[in-house]
Structure 1
Amino acid sequence: MLRVLTAGESHGPELIAVMEGLPSGVPLLAEDIQADLQRRKLGYGRGSRMKFEQDELTISGGVRHGLTLGSPIALRIGNTEWPKWTEVMNPAPVELTEKSRGRGAALTRPRPGHADLVGMQKYDFDEARPILERASARETAARVALGAIARAFLAELGIRLVSHTLSIGPVHVPDDAPVPTPDDVAALDADPLRCFHPETSERMVAEVDDTRKEGDTVGGIVEVLAYGLPPGLGSHVHWDRRLDGKLAQALMSIQAIKGVEVGDGFETTRRRGSAAHDELFVTSDGIARGSDRAGGTEGGMSTGTVLRVRAGMKPIATVPHALRTVDVATGETAAAHHQRSDVCAVPAAGVVAEAMVAITLADVVLEKFGGDSVKETRRNLTAYVDGIAESLRTSAQPVDLAHDLAL
């Protein structure tokens, strides 16, 4: 079983990330993790914080000479802005100096759409600082770092991932547009919105510009695809072992994500049953599906085809023209506190979603195949796939109904 844990606050000295249960022998370099941390900052519409706040990565344990040891992997992601916050976020009781008093002022006007008010109620605080520091999406830097480790493990088994932006506000990639492969990651990262459809990307940029001019924020939808999965990850036998359920929980846990779908998801609910499912056909490569509506899962298990999951991100709640709220110190209507904010963070959400899918897939792979070393995991996976009866073998690609069945 794979276990992960993150700790730390947005303006604290560092974020801590721990992963336990990863096999030994996985190639892992600090620069590879650092590269993903930089990818998290990509995207048109990001705020100034992405430019001056650097992620200083240190591998504190679990890796030696570029290979995992099988022991817990511990990471530290230093916050270069910490010197400005040493008094405000000091773990020891301190008196704020004049310099820090403004930054450390009590935040008694909770922001609508954030964890502020409910967190104050739940944890018995009279201001929002203790809540927003941990609820902040800054925490996702630790998840992205752990996701880079999970992806390195999956790559050793021939499983590769890619994420891309499907929509920004009302601007959506055409339904018949091609989907990216892991070989397209560099091209995606070079696009302002990490969109695989150039014409749509231009319209997305215009949507972000228009949103910025209006002093507002905008959300969107990202998609993660995983290639090379074997059939049978997850299980139908109990609710908490279903792969699609695990993926939904992982993606919904990302800050500002309000919806998740697997495959065609909600679109499938608008179809008749005869047009909603992936029919099976005999081909020279084995049993093949005639379409990809299910998105790579059936009955809570991977089908061996491309896994396709989507996550919908709401517009960022820290709106430049501050929303109305209540000042809990006075009981009067007030404007919400305005922290630094992005106009659009959807491209970054794609990178975080990719990390969460990688962590989830690494977990279910280890649940099924185990292994104290990555070589052992690979042997177990190969033996399982080779042991599938010839009559049950499936093709990873949907059949071309117009071409393949006519042969």
Structure 2
Amino acid sequence: MKLRYLTAGESHGPALTAIVEGLPSNIEISADDINRHLARRQLGYGRGGRMKIEKDQVQFLSGVRWGKTLGSPVTLSIHNRDWENWDKKMSPRAEDRVEGIAVVHPRPGHADLSGMIKYHHDDARNILERSSARETAVRVAVGALCIKFLRDLDIEIMGYVSEIAGIAASGDDVDFRERFARSEQSACRTFDAGAEKRMIEAIDQAKQAGDSLGGVVEVVVLGAPAGIGSYVHWDRRLDGRLAGAVMSIQAFKGVEVGAGFDAARRPGSQVHDEIAYADGAFFRKSNRAGGLEGGMTNGEAIVIRGAMKPIPTLYTPLETVDMQNKAPFKATVERSDVCAVPAAAVVAEAVVAITLAEAVLEKFGGDSMEDIRESLERYNSYVRSV
């Protein structure tokens, strides 16, 4: 069965919910496994006031019994603590409509105006509540399930920040696991202490100016065997699927794999990774391809980066238009972050995990973890014999 999921819920609604179908039985999972990632998403220098209100905790509503998945759909729910302040403003009941609530006019950089036109709404509140990055909380919960599934197959996923506001972390000599370990101790979720100091200064300056900052996150996958994904159809190419997943994160505007855009600036001799063989295994002498060739994993580390634009809600608001009289209007200021790039690294981990888990299940699929492990071990034995 194909892995698939749906999320539902508004930013200030009662809860965020996801239904995940296609996971095998007997994945060992607990709420703590998921809550740890939810807590990581809420951290990071530059986060706004909403993170002081919420303490995201997941509740399993189906699909898990006694610490193991059942093979049936898993339902996850995250309660919005701020709902108590919005129960009338966001009530589904017509009789609860509150008169006199200010209409939100479309804000630059958001889904507001296009969404209002598309769905025939005259209040951007009806758009922003669902388009909000608050939705990523439940995607992180789904991703945490997939991270646990992959880890049980010895596949690791690690995300961190490589750049904020043009300030890039340096340390190409630092291996991926060490980068991740350092970033988990960093307020900016980066592995370069010197760059972190400059990032914090830039975030402070942006906050004082009522502005916001973006950056670049990097996600690395270790342990994925060669041959996941396929070259035979465009929609089965794993690099395209991963790129689409990362681009689906709110505020992301660019994706690259391996050397990425820099590969376009170099001659082929400085781009393609030479193949070698030693100790009974093939390997690449470099990894400019980022672990993906021809739409498939090649056995090297998967390296994918995503570029996040600055949060479009500014405390020094940009100009927009009043939807009623079409006159110039200062955009409504919603509670927001100055910089959410550290949190976005956790979200990027999650969507990469979901996409990779789907591809792993396509390759090694079975109804139980036992089936999948047996299939993977048989495949690994074959790879070692080539």
Q: Same fold judged by TM-score > 0.5? A: yes
Does the 8 Å CA contact 1:45/1:208 hold for their aligned counterparts?
yes
Does the 8 Å CA contact 1:180/1:196 hold for their aligned counterparts?
no
Partner Cα distance (1:235, 1:96) in 2:
52
Does the 8 Å CA contact 1:179/1:196 hold for their aligned counterparts?
no
Question: For 1:3-402, what aligned pairs fall within 5 Å after superposition?
Answer: 3-96=4-97, 104-107=101-104, 109-174=105-170, 176-181=172-177, 185=180, 187-388=182-383, 390=385, 392=386
Partner Cα distance (2:330, 2:317) in 1:
6
Does the 8 Å CA contact 2:33/2:144 hold for their aligned counterparts?
yes
Q: Deviations over 1:264-317 (max 9, x none)?
A: 101111101111110112323422211110000000000111110000000000
Partner Cα distance (2:64, 2:96) in 1:
40
RMSD of the alignment, in Å? Answer: 1.4
AA aligned opposite 2:241: K
Q: Deviations over 1:307-355 (max 9, x none)?
A: 1000000000001110011111111011011101100000000000000
Identity of aligned residues (%): 50
Does the 8 Å CA contact 1:56/1:80 hold for their aligned counterparts?
no
Does the 8 Å CA contact 2:91/2:97 hold for their aligned counterparts?
no
Partner Cα distance (2:340, 2:128) in 1:
18
AA aligned opposite 2:211: D
Tell me whether 209-218 or 10-19 shows the greater mean CA deviation.
Answer: 209-218
Partner Cα distance (2:331, 2:343) in 1:
25
Partner Cα distance (1:388, 1:272) in 2:
31
Q: 1:144 to 1:116 in 2, by over 3 A?
A: same
Size of the alignment, in residue pairs? 385
Does the 8 Å CA contact 1:161/1:224 hold for their aligned counterparts?
yes
AA aligned opposite 2:185: A
Q: 1:167 to 1:179 in 2, by over 3 A?
A: farther
AA aligned opposite 2:353: A
Instruction: Give the deviation of 1:179 after TM superposition.
Output: 4.1
Q: 1:187 to 1:282 in 2, by over 3 A?
A: closer
Residue 388 of structure 1: SS of its match in structure 2? helix
Partner Cα distance (2:270, 2:50) in 1:
47
Partner Cα distance (2:197, 2:280) in 1:
40
AA aligned opposite 2:102: A
AA aligned opposite 2:39: Q
AA aligned opposite 2:41: R
Residue 184 of structure 2: SS of its match in structure 1? helix
TM-score by length of 2: 0.97
TM-score by length of 1: 0.92
Residue 123 of structure 2: SS of its match in structure 1? coil
